[in-house]
Amino acid sequence: MKNFLLSLFGANKTSEQQIDEKHDFEKQTDEKQELLNSVNAAKEEWLSAQIYFENVSDPDLVDLSIYKLEAARRKYMYLLKVARNEGVEDGRILERNNKIVHF
């Protein structure tokens, strides 16, 4: 029983093992934060492309605005999928029917 409790609370781990585990956890946290930042940046890029599309008046720029809008949407959807698969969560990010929903 004592060994079980010691192993449960990490008492039988060397300080080097504990440092390695802490470093791994911090690295994973940093990677998840970086991914979350990328998702947020892609969301902002998509919103910017939507605004550009809504305000473009030159017929020659309509095709460009559509291209930018679709590229930004696909980038956001891809990064959102990756973030979900990695277990990254942020209550401010949600998509429904390919539209951004803000909370």
Distance CA 38, CA 73 (A): 13
pLDDT value, residue 31 = 85
Choice between 68 and 59, residue whose per-residue pLDDT is larger: 68
| Closest to 99 (Cα-Cα) out of 47, 41, 63, 40 | 47
Distance CA 9, CA 13 (A): 9
DSSP label of 96: E
Reading the block at residue 23, the tokens are 């470093």
| Residue 51 scores a pLDDT above 80 | yes
Distance CA 77, CA 71 (A): 10
Stretch 49-57: mean pLDDT, rounded? 96
Name the residue with tokens 């990064």: 79
Q: What percent of the chain has pLDDT over 90?
A: 43
Predicted TM-score (pTM) above 0.85: no
Q: Is 3 exposed, middle or buried (0-12, 13-18, 19+ CB in 10 A)?
A: exposed
Confidence of residue 70 (pLDDT cuts 50, 70, 90): very high
| Residue 102 scores a pLDDT above 50 | no
| Residue 83 scores a pLDDT above 80 | yes
